[in-house]
Amino acid sequence: MFKTKKPANVKLTILGGLGEIGKNMMVIENGKDMLLVDAGIMFPEEEMLGIDLVLPDFSYVVKNKERLKAIIITHGHEDHTGALPYLLKEVSAPVYGSKLTLGLIEKKMGEHKLKADLREISSRTKLTVGQFKLSFFEVCHSIPDGLGIIIETLFGLMVHTGDFKFDQTPVDGRPTELQKLTGLGQKEVLLLLSDSTNAEIPGYTLPEKTVGANLLKLFEDARQRIIVATFASHLHRIKQIVDATIKTDRKLAISGRSMVNNVRIASELGYLKIPEEVLVDVAKIEKYPPDKIVVLCTGSQGEPLSALARISSNDHKQVKLHPGDTVIISASPIPGNERSVSRIINQIYRCGAVAHYELISGVHASGHPAQEELKLMINLVKPKYFIPIHGEYRHLKHHAELAKQVGIHPENIFICEDGDVIEFNAYGAKKTGEIPAGDVFVDGLGVGDIGDIVLRDRKQLSKDGVFIVVVAIDKQKAEIITGPDVVSRGFVYVKETKELIDEAIERVEETLAKTAQEGVTDITVLRLRIREDLSKFLYKKTRRRPMVMPIIIEA
């Protein structure tokens, strides 16, 4: 263990990724120095109307930006890298990641017209930044070049697994480094932070090569065109799709901006090799016989504007779905996307094509560890303290139970949520507080300017519509000069509900007459009275709650 002036404690602060799938981010503080691990986004849930992305609240990092020594990115998935462009507009620190991870980040920085200090690391790297000494170990995941992190502290090692699984036959021949993990178990490991995504699933995660064999069988059985949708970042899966394309003597066309970009980056960096004669322009696929074409595309999560969504609705410029085509969705729906994926599958069948997806065809394997792999990780590392990370609350809870089963003392297990602060010192560890760590919404060019109140309004508008009343009043007497006039959108059709509209107008007139008698002339009070009275009236008549917007013009 290295020698330095002993800090009062080592502090771990969770900013995202716990109690949810996505926006992974945590801060580790050693004395005055701060280290950030991952900076991810979460894609919006269905009720987040109009929201493009969800960021973690990294105001704590911005507030302490002078202390930030480095940002370590475990791998290249969006839920670990997507917040970087937004963070780096407010802080300055070197970003460390593997070769592929930095290649994907560099592309992202270019899209935001930003430059970042990107520094390549590997499992062989030993790194000193401020009071931190770091080393790394390879992990097998659904994207190449994933890394786990080992952080030296005066109280023992902190081990962060990143996203991993124990696949003994990985597509790229680079399994999770068992030897390094076994060596860690012989040292004093203070804390293990471990991936919890599949903590509910017994046994072991399916090896990726099993999916490759299933895909090849589907390719061999297909009699017409094949359309395959998967994650654009799942390069191991893409490699197996390429291999199956070559083995069945077909040509490969690629559709979807992120898929095209990731395949290009991976090819340039040497992680993917596609023979030039295999690739064809997606605009030229109609020139080939149907049994000679494979289309690799985005849209495995049912994204409305993705290539697969447009193909299934016959809205794609180059790819039309024909009866007898084979469509393979080689991914598992992220929680919240199930309905969107189901909708696309139904559309595929309506077109007369055949759909294959995880539930029925074995065309997907997770990149995360199941229960026996999670137990193995804990037994290899032998930590004193344990914090399950990367998962919804139920995943964290299940993972904590697994830790108890393999001998971690219950008092040494912390089930945390975003915002929790855990401190370690010579006497032990404890939760010492919380910091603000909610969601920051990205809507178009706006970052953080959409809050819960705006979302609530959007939900109300989408559910019951809006009811607008326009009236001009005498400024001195608060008496009606013209109006009231009514505009309704998404609530009732005005021409077909004349009786309701007339009654609503009478109610507004009564409210204004009453306030005039009381001598009330304040516009804010008048708006409030109209809104309250009209809302009660409309609910009584329709059992709906439209957004009532009184517009009062003073004359």
Which residues are bridge partners to 251 per DSSP? 293
Which one from 368, 390, 398, 399 is the annotated catalytic residue?
A: 368
What's the pLDDT at 457?
A: 56
- Residue 458 confidence (pLDDT) above 70: no
64: pLDDT confidence band, cut at 50, 70 and 90? Answer: very high
Q: Could you tell me the CA-to-CA distances from 382 to 26, 183, 187 in Å, in that order?
A: 22, 10, 9
Q: What is the mean pLDDT of residues 304-323?
A: 92
Q: What pLDDT does 2 receive?
A: 43
Please give the full DSSP string across 516-539, using - where no structure is assigned. HHTT---HHHHHHHHHHHHHHHHH
Report pLDDT digits (tens) over 187-225: 889 999 999 999 999 999 999 999 999 999 999 999 999
Element (H, E) at 181: helix 178-185
DSSP 52-101: -EEEE--HHHHHTGGGEEEEE---S-HHHHTTHHHHTTT----EEE-HHH
- For the CA atoms of 235, 38, 23, 368, what is the dihedral angle to 10 degrees? 50
Q: SS3 of 345, please?
A: helix
Paired tokens of 30: 């050693």
Residue (of 344, 264, 257) closest to 300 by Cα position = 344
Both tokens of 132, joined, read 């931190």
What domains are there in the chain, each with its CATH number?
A: 10-203+366-444 (3.60.15.10), 208-359 (3.40.50.10710), 452-554 (3.10.20.580)
User: How many Å apart are CA 126 and CA 403, to the nearest integer?
Assistant: 29
How sure is the predictor about 48, in pLDDT bands with cuts at 50, 70 and 90?
Answer: low
- What is the three-class DSSP state of 253? strand
- Which residue among the candidates 79, 195, 439, 533 is catalytic per the annotation? 195
Q: How far is CA 5 from CA 8, 153, 534, in A?
A: 10, 11, 68
Q: Are residues 471 and 514 in contact, defined by beta-carbon separation less than 8 angstroms?
A: no
Give dist(CA 467, CA 486) in Å, integer. 7
Give CA angle at 48 (545, 259), nearest 5°. Answer: 150
Return the H-helix or E-strand segment holding 357: strand 354-357
pLDDT at position 451 is: 52
Reading the block at residue 516, the tokens are 């005039």
Structure tokens at 206: 């399916």
Nearest to 443 by CA among 16, 48, 78: 48
pLDDT reading at 454 higher than 70: no
For residue range 139-164, what is the model confidence (pLDDT) as tens digits?
Answer: 999 999 999 999 998 899 999 999 99
Answer for the pair 252, 267: CB distance below 8 angstroms, yes or no.
Answer: no
Which range among 7-21, 245-259, 444-458, 479-493 shows the weakest confidence by mean pLDDT? 444-458
Sign of dihedral through CA atoms 227, 230, 233, 234?
Answer: negative
Neighbours of 211 (CB within 10 A): 23
Q: What angle do CA 141, 144, 146 make, to 5 degrees?
A: 65
Written as six digits, the tokens of 162 are 């990143």
356 tagged catalytic: no
Residues 327, 252, 245: CA angle, nearest 5 degrees: 75
Q: How far apart are CA 373 and CA 512, in angstroms?
A: 70
Q: Give the model's confidence band at 541: pLDDT under 50 very low, under 70 low, under 90 confident, else very high.
A: confident
Distance of CA 356 to the CA centre of its chain: 25
Highest mean pLDDT among 33-47, 211-225, 449-463: 211-225
Q: How far is CA 32 from CA 8, 379, 392, in A?
A: 10, 33, 31
- In this prediction, residue 543 carries a pLDDT of 79
pTM score of the predicted model: 0.81
Query: What percentage of the chain reaches a pLDDT higher than 90?
Result: 67
Q: Is 265 helix (H, G, I), strand (E, B) or coil?
A: helix
Structure tokens at 421: 């602060």
Catalytic annotation on 368?
yes
Q: Which amino acid is at 296?
A: L
Amino acid letter at 115?
Answer: K
Give the DSSP H/E element, type plus range, for residue 404.
helix 393-405
Percent of the chain with pLDDT over 70: 91
Please answer whether residues 509 and 534 qualify as being in contact, where contact means their C-beta atoms are separated by less than 8 angstroms.
Answer: no
327's CB contacts (< 8 A; 6+ apart) are 226, 227, 228, 229, 308, 311, 312, 321, 348, 353, 354, 355, 356
Instruction: Please tell me the distance from the alpha carbon of residue 146 to that of residue 201, in angstroms, as a whole number.
Output: 22
Q: How confident is the model at residue 52 (pLDDT cuts 50, 70, 90)?
A: low
What backbone phi and psi angles, to 5 degrees, belong to 95?
-110, 120
- Average pLDDT score, the chain: 89
